[in-house]
Chain A
Amino acid sequence: MAKTEIKIGGFGGQGVILTGYIIGKAASIFDGKNATMTQAFGPEARGSACSAQVIVAADAILYPYVKRPQIMVIMSQEAFTKFSPQLDPNGMILIEEELVDPKGLPPTVKVFGIPATRIAEELGRKIVLNIVMAGFFTAVTGIVSKDAMRKAIESSVPKGTEGLNLLAFEKGYEYGLGKVQAQ
C-alpha cells in the first residue's frame, strides 16, 4: 500500500514542528493509520528555514525519512527555496500565499494558496497561523480526517487555547473546501 510523504516548511517560530506533530498524531492515534514524524535538529532549526517530515501509511513504515514528498506545506519563501526542489513533480504544494511566491515549480505540481497569517490575525492571534494551515491541509489533501485533526489539536495545544485553535482550524478548513470546489 502506498505511503504519503509530507514535508512542512517555514521559519522557526511559525509552529512548523507542531503542525507536523498534529498531523502525525491525528493519523496514528485518531485515524488508526501509521505515522512517522522526523524533524531536522541543528542550527537550521533555530530561526531559519526549518522542516517537519511526516510519513502516513496504512501499513508499517520502515524507512524513516521523507525522500520525495508528494505533499508540501510551505510557510516562508526561504523554506520554499530550500525544500520545493524535493517535491514530487506530480505532487501538491500548499502555501501561505502572502509569504510565498511559488515560482519555478514544474507545471504538473498542484498549488493551493491561503492567506493563513491574515486569517490568524483576524482571529486575534497571529500565532495560530499554523493551525489555519493545518485546517487548510485537512480539506485539500484528505490524508487525515477532520475529526482526527480536531482531536489532535485539542490534545496538543496549550490549555485554555483550544477554542481559538479549533476556530483557526475551521477557518482554514472552510477556505480549503472553497479552493477544492473551485478547482
Chain B
Amino acid sequence: MKADPKGVLTGSHYIDGDHACCEGALASGCRFVGGYPITPSTEVVERFARRAPMVEGAHFIQMEDELAASIAIQGAVWAGKKAMTVTSGPGFSLMMEHIGLAVMTETPCVFVDVQRGGPSTGLPTLPGQADMMQARWGSHGDYEIIALSPNSPQECFDLTIDAFNLSEQYRVPVMFMMDECVGHMMERVVIPPADRIEITPRRYTALPPGEYLPFKPGPDMIPEMFKAGDGYRLHITGLTHDFKGYPAMNPEVQEQLVRRLVDKIRLSEPKIRRYEEDGVEDADVVVVTYGITSRVAVEAIEAARKRGIKVGMLRLVVVWPFPEPRIFELACRGKAFVMAEMNYGQIFYEVERSVRGRAPVVLAGHGGGTVHNIDDIVKKIEEAHRCLS
C-alpha cells in the first residue's frame, strides 16, 4: 500500500540524519514513539515530539527509562500502531531484554541505535560502530533479527521506511544502526510524494474470533495479527507458547516455536539481503564495510586503485542477516578481504567465518570518536593484496 500523506513531508530538506530518521518513521506510518532521550539520538525524538501534534494519531511519550520505552512501543503495536524507540549504546544495553520479548512475541517494531563510542558511557558526542554484535546477539536465547545501516541522511529517511516494512513483513524487531556522524551531519534529503512511498501493512487476520489462532504460522512461517479491542482473545507471553499463545513449556513446542523464529529470517536471507557492490567482479581485494565508514572506504579504494591495486567494495546495507553465501562465493574466487568498521573487529569475525579459511581477511578497525583515516584503510588494502602473492 502507499504511505499515508499525513505523515509525509514531501520536498527537499536540509536536515541531519536524526531528523531524517524521524521523517522516515512518520512516512512509514509510525504513530508512536516511546523514548528516553540520549545523545546522539535525541534529535530523532525531539523532532517526533514536535511533529506528532501535526500528524493525526501520532504520539510521543518520554518514558522513565529505556526499559519502559522499549516495552511501551510493544504495547502500542498490539494496540494497532506502528512504533519505534530510539537510543544510543548505553540505552541499547538496557533495551536488550525487551528486544528478546519482541522477538518471542513476534511484535513488529523498530529499535534505532545512533551509535557512539563505547563501552559504557564512552563518547556521547562522537561516533562508533561497536554495537553491531550487540544488535545481533545482545538478548539471551536463540533468535534472529534484521539490522540496517545507513550512510547518509537520505538513507536515514529511506532505510527507516525499509526497517518498518521489514518488521511488518517478518514480524520481527528491526535494528536501525546509525552512528553519531550520520545522525548529526546535514545533507539534502529528498522526501518523495506519499504515493511514491511503498508501505508494508500489518498482516491482520481475516479469520473471525474463535477460528483465529494468534501464533499459528502461515505458509511463509509468519502468523497473522489482530488489533486489541477488535473482539479477539489474546494472551501474549515471553514464555514458550503454543498456537493459542498460552505457555507450553516443553521441548516439542520449544522446537517448533524457536526453530520457526530463527528460520523465518534465516531462510529468507536471500530475500532480505541487501548490499551494494562496486568493482567486485574483477577485484583482487574486496573491502567490506557499512554505515559512515563506507563513505571513507570509497576514498581509500580510489587511492588504492591509483596505486595499481584492483579493489572492489561490498557495502552492507542490511548487516543482519549477514550475506554469508556471497562472501563465501567471492572467497572461493581467490579474493582477499578488508573489513573496514569503527570497532576493533565485529563484522570482521563474520567475514572471517564466512570465507571458511579460503581467503585472507584483514581488519581495518579503530575505536571510534571519528571516522577512519583514509590512509589507514589504504594500508590495509595493500596488506590484504600482499597476502595474495
Binary CB contact string for chain A from 53 to 66 against chain B (1 if under 8 A, 0 otherwise): 00000000111110
Contact across chains for A63 and B299 when beta carbons are under 8 A apart: yes
Q: A24-B14, A25-B14 are in contact. Are A37 and B296 (CB under 8 A)?
A: no
Q: Is B242 an interface residue (CB 8 A)?
A: no
A34 at the binding interface (Cβ < 8 Å)? yes
> Is A37 a contact partner of B39 (Cβ separation < 8 A)?
no
SS of A interface (majority): mixed
Q: Is the CB of B371 within 8 A of A28?
A: no
Chain B interface SS verdict (over half): mixed
Q: Establish whether residues A41 and B374, one from each chain, have CB atoms under 8 Å apart when the complex forms.
A: no
Q: Which of A1-40 contact B (CB under 8 A)?
A: 21, 24-25, 28-29, 34-39
Question: What are 13 A-B pairs at a CB distance below 8 A?
Answer: A21-B186, A28-B188, A34-B188, A35-B187, A41-B40, A41-B184, A61-B187, A62-B295, A62-B296, A62-B299, A64-B185, A64-B295, A64-B296
Establish whether residues A28 and B14, one from each chain, have CB atoms under 8 Å apart when the complex forms. Answer: yes
Query: Within 8 Å of chain B (Cβ to Cβ): is A124?
Result: no
Which A residues are CB-close (under 8 A) to B12?
29
Query: Considering the chains assembled together, what is the distance between the CA atoms of A25 and B298 in angstroms?
Result: 25
Does B139 reach chain A (CB closer than 8 Å)? no
Shortest Cβ distance from residue A25 to the other chain B in the assembled complex, whole angstroms: 4
CB contacts (< 8 Å) of A64 on chain B: these are 181, 185, 292, 295-296, 371
By beta carbon, the residue of chain B nearest A40 is: B125
List the B side residues contacting A34 at CB < 8 Å.
187-188
In the complex with contacts A41-B39, A41-B40, A64-B292, A24-B186 CB distance below 8 A: yes
Which residues in B have their C-beta under 8 angstroms from that of A63? 295-296, 299, 371, 374
In B12-57, the 8 Å CB interface with A consists of 12-14, 39-40
* A28 neighbours in B (Cβ, 8 Å): 14, 187-188
Write out the residue numbers on chain A whose beta carbons fall within 8 Å of the beta carbon of B371.
Answer: 63-65
Q: Choose from B184, B188, B295 the contact partner of A35 (Cβ within 8 Å).
A: B188
CB of A42 within 8 Å of the partner chain: yes
Any chain A CB within 8 A of the CB of B370? yes
Binding site for B on A (CB under 8 A): 21, 24-25, 28-29, 34-39, 41-42, 61-65
Q: Is B184 a contact partner of A36 (Cβ separation < 8 A)?
A: no
Known: A21-B186, A34-B187, A42-B125. A62 touches B298 (CB 8 A): yes
| A61–B295 alpha-carbon span in the complex (Å) | 8
- Is B125's CB under 8 angstroms from A36's CB? no
CA distance in complex: A42, B127 (Å):
13
The complex places the Cα of A34 from the Cα of B125 at a distance, in Å, of 25
Interface centre among B13, B181, B186, B370 (most CB of A within 10 A): B186
